[in-house]
Amino acid sequence: MHIPDGFLDVKTAAAGFVLAGAALGLALRSARRALPPERVPLLGLAAAFLFAAQMLNFPVAGGTSGHLLGATLAAVLLGPGAAAVAMASVLTLQCLLFADGGLTALGANLLNMAVIAPAVGYAAYSLAFRAAGRTPRACLFAAAWGAWCSTVVAALCAAGQLSLSGLAPAGVVFPAMALVHMLIGLFEAAITALVLAAVMKARPDLLTGGEEAPPARAAGLVPIGLCVAAALALFVAPFACGWPDGLEHVAERLGFAMRAAEITALPAPLPDYAIPGLDPAVLSAALAGLAGTAAAFLASWLFARALAPRPRVEGSGRA
Amino acid sequence: MSGPPAIEVENLRYRYPDGLEALRGVSFSVAGGERVGLVGPNGAGKSTLLLHLNGLLPARLPGEAAVRVLGTPLTPATALAVRARVGLLFAEADDQLFCPTVGEDVSFGPAQLGLSRAEVAARVSRALAAVGLAGFDDRPPHRLSAGEKRRACLAGLLALDPAVLALDEPTQSLDPRGRRELATLLTGLPVALLIASHDLGFVLAVCRRVVVLDAGRIVADGPAADILADEPLMLAHGLESPPPWSVQGRKNYSE
Amino acid sequence: MTPAVVARAGPLHRLPAGLKLAAATAGVVGLAFAPRDAFAVFGGGAAVVVLLVLLSRVPPGRFLRRLLLVEPFAAGAALLALFPPGGLLWFLGLLARTTLCLALLILLTLTTRFTDLLGVLRRIRLPRLFVTTLALAHRYLFVLAEEAARLRRARKSRTFSRRRGAAWRGSAAVAAGLFIRSFDRAERVHRAMRARGLPE
């Protein structure tokens, strides 16, 4: 999901920097205030941990392998503010150390993966955790669910930025990114739950977030939430009514887009978008999205069921 | 030696939050410039004792200060000043070298003292030269060998101009040459030393006096040569007398 | 990684990090926002990049390997650009400007120590907590990578199954172990900071 240089236009890149800067500034402020002093080095070590954990391979099939993004894992283990700071460090390091993710796209990448991903992941996690009854199994389920949500929403936001930059029509970018990341999100959910279950087994004391969220962790969530909402309103909402009709519509628009070399800032919905109503394409896309979400929800529950620690006579199985 | 002892510990007790009683009334003192070995089995309380010399563990038992450094009682109010006088070398060098470069790391301590920039720079280059790492300022710590890391840690302490060095397992992961160089370096320093180590040959080479700690209590305190040669005492406390050839090292370093 | 290369310094290595970062940023901004059909600009950019690589005395093989490491991701994402009209030409233009930006960034990382870049970030007034976090993350990245390798070896030497599930559990256990170790290390690092005068 790292957007390289050259993919975003000036206004999108600038908007990314402004929103990411504001949200991370707030996250830093809340981290400085809410983190006990002995936890400050933990931010750096957590970033190093996320960087190293992203390099671990999880084989998928045919020699390919996936890896962890870690935003939700970090948010569950450290709280959302600290997770945002740690993720931002990881992305900045990846950009300046390995040219992974562009310099001009750094703002957008920070926004997607260091602001939106942990914030959405944590929000989904804490809602589900509360709803599912605050048990260890609920914690794993909620974390898996949060990981899936964070992956998909961050990808949608990236799709919005690419689309807004005129890289490809929204009707292509959104379905493609959504579909791919609904799958990737399942991996993220599984890995997050697996790692969390292993931490739970070895050092349950580190998972204080699993018992209760101290007020310190929630501090600063509201302004950051506002930044996230602004980002979604800017990058996703304008396309929300336009993107479901996918490839078909792209074909129709070929001639039009040829002349509209650069897509205007916020393309007003065309008349035929205005009343999506019962357009079968919209309906099918909505149904597909709903089905994917339900599947992810179910999968999260199954992961948690399989991984939750059962009371055992002997505590074994350390790494 | 004139003046107050470098370190005075009086009836020091400490219980960890999880209930483990690490120190059960430890009393001893180290004179200025004296070099003392602190030996004992794993879990004897050696590292806990060293952390107390810097006031790094919270919630001491109420009552009068159990640790005095150069006559100053160690309290939360005096902790910062005391830490500048007692350099603590941690068992794992990577924990102690937390800055991007060796130079920045060595300057971390002096920079907190409110010294001028020139003075900090002077102290850094003096400390690096003292440990034989002159010109290592720009090196990132992860590029150093284990011996170089250990010496870089030591430079970070020396830059504070301490009167006492408290070292936790200083020879851990050093090769014999690094170990020998460290012994030479330490014996040349004009400071009091308290060395907690399982490396009894090293202790014997550097220290004249040894304190044996077991289960949070001091069980022996006396001349290094006598105590370390006391086979039954050593075996009773999970230790063993260093082999005779390593005793020869003593002649090389002690005088 | 970079420090080893920096040791064999060429003329670019010796320039101040701030200047190099500013120049690279200017170059990347100029190229990244150039129109996609500005092939003259891309040609000129490519010539400058080649010249800089030769001038820098960075081994060209190392430079190309680094470029090939990240290029597939950019090229893959660029495929999206085949959809709008004018597909192929736009795709090529996008690929050109992305590749040139990557080349500039890689050249920057190959000729500049990260510790020097950190100094620049501190000077341009990025929040201190963030720069400190970056510095610590960079410092312990290598320590953790070695720890990860050790954990994985230890796990492998006692794993006798080729099943995917075992591999997943193994990687997850390594990740969990890494987290626990970094958590504990953070406490020890803080202790070491306090021991050298960090105010409480």
Within this chain, do residues C106 and C147 fall inside the same structural domain, yes or no? no
B/C interface, count of CB pairs below 8 Å: 74
Smallest CA–CA distance from C147 into chain A, residue: A52
Domain total of chain A: 1
- pLDDT value of position A221: 66
Spatial CB neighbours of C126, under 8 Å, sequence gap ≥ 6: none
Q: How confident is the model at residue A317 (pLDDT cuts 50, 70, 90)?
A: very low
- pLDDT value of position B216: 92
Under an 8 A CB cutoff, do C195 and B94 touch?
A: no
Q: How confident is the model at residue B195 (pLDDT cuts 50, 70, 90)?
A: very high
Chain C hits for A34, CB-CB cut-off 8 Å, are none
Across B118-135, average pLDDT:
94
Query: Do the domain assignments include residue A96?
Result: yes
How far apart are alpha carbons B46 and B14 in whole angstroms?
A: 12
Q: Are A95 and C138 in contact (CB under 8 A)?
A: no
Q: Is B23 helix (H, G, I), strand (E, B) or coil?
A: strand
Tens of pLDDT, residue by residue over A106-161, are 999 999 999 999 999 999 998 898 888 888 888 999 999 999 999 999 999 999 99
Smallest CA–CA distance from A259 into chain C, residue: C85
The one-digit pLDDT tens for each residue of chain C (200 residues) are 444 444 557 888 888 999 999 999 999 999 999 988 888 999 999 999 999 998 888 888 999 999 998 888 888 878 777 766 567 888 888 899 999 999 999 999 999 989 999 999 999 989 989 999 999 999 999 899 888 888 888 877 877 777 777 778 888 888 999 999 999 999 899 999 999 988 87
Query: Do the domain assignments include residue A2?
Result: no
Task: Assess: ipTM above 0.85.
Answer: yes
Within this chain, do residues C100 and C27 fall inside the same structural domain, yes or no? yes
- A319 touching chain C per CB within 8 A: yes
Chain C hits for B90, CB-CB cut-off 8 Å, are 188, 191-192, 195
Across A50-74, average pLDDT:
81
Q: How confident is the model at residue B39 (pLDDT cuts 50, 70, 90)?
A: very high
- pLDDT value of position B65: 64
- Which of A164, A160, A157 lies closest to A116, judged by CA? A157
- pLDDT value of position A283: 64
* Neighbour subunits, C (≥3 Cβ pairs < 8 A): A, B
Query: Do the domain assignments include residue C200?
Result: no
Distances (CA, A) of C137 to A156, B166, C115, C132, C186: 29, 28, 12, 8, 11
Token look-up 């690096």 returns B128
Query: Do the domain assignments include residue A315?
Result: no
Q: pTM here?
A: 0.84
Of C114, C195, C197, the CB nearest to B113: C197
Query: Do the domain assignments include residue C179?
Result: yes
How far apart are alpha carbons B238 and B41 in whole angstroms?
A: 5
- Where is average pLDDT lowest: B89-93, B94-98, C148-152? C148-152
The whole-angstrom distance between C113's CA and the closest CA on chain A is: 9
Query: Do the domain assignments include residue C104?
Result: yes
CATH value at residue A246 = 1.10.1760.20
Of A5, A42, A258, the CB nearest to C85: A258
Q: How confident is the model at residue A270 (pLDDT cuts 50, 70, 90)?
A: very low
Tens of pLDDT, residue by residue over B12-36, are 988 888 888 899 999 999 999 999 9
B214 forms beta bridges with: B217
Tokens of A58: 């999880």
* Neighbour subunits, B (≥3 Cβ pairs < 8 A): C
Query: Do the domain assignments include residue A252?
Result: yes
Query: Do the domain assignments include residue A66?
Result: yes
Q: Structural domain of residue C25, as residue ranges?
A: 2-120
Within this chain, do residues C48 and C26 fall inside the same structural domain, yes or no? yes
- Share above pLDDT 70 across residues of chain B, in percent, rounded to a whole number: 91
Work out the angle between the directed axes of helices C17-32 and C87-111 (0-180°, nearest 10).
180
Smallest CA–CA distance from A50 into chain C, residue: C179
- C128 touching chain B per CB within 8 A: no
DSSP codes joined into one string, A59-119: E-STT-EE----HHHHHHHH-HHHHHHHHHHHHHHHHHHH--S-STTHHHHIIIIIIIHHH
Query: Do the domain assignments include residue A5?
Result: no
How far apart are alpha carbons A91 and A162 in whole angstroms?
A: 19
Domains of chain B: 1-85+163-255 (3.40.50.300), 93-161 (no CATH)
Q: How confident is the model at residue A260 (pLDDT cuts 50, 70, 90)?
A: very low
Within this chain, do residues C109 and C174 fall inside the same structural domain, yes or no? no
Under an 8 A CB cutoff, do B142 and C143 touch?
A: yes
How far apart are alpha carbons A49 and A56 in whole angstroms?
A: 11
Under an 8 A CB cutoff, do C192 and B90 touch?
A: yes
Domain total of chain C: 2
pLDDT at A223 over 80: no
Chain C hits for B96, CB-CB cut-off 8 Å, are 192
Across A182-192, average pLDDT:
91
> What integer best gives the mean pLDDT of chain B?
88
pLDDT at B246 over 80: no
Under an 8 A CB cutoff, do B100 and C139 touch?
A: yes
Query: Do the domain assignments include residue A215?
Result: yes
A312 by Cβ neighbours in 10 Å (0-12 / 13-18 / 19+) ranks as: exposed
- pLDDT value of position A241: 54
DSSP codes joined into one string, C93-112: HHHHHHHHHHHHHHHHHHHS
- C195 touching chain B per CB within 8 A: yes
- Share above pLDDT 70 across residues of chain A, in percent, rounded to a whole number: 75
- Beta strands B192-196 and B217-223, pairing class: unpaired
Q: Structural domain of residue A292, as residue ranges?
A: 10-307
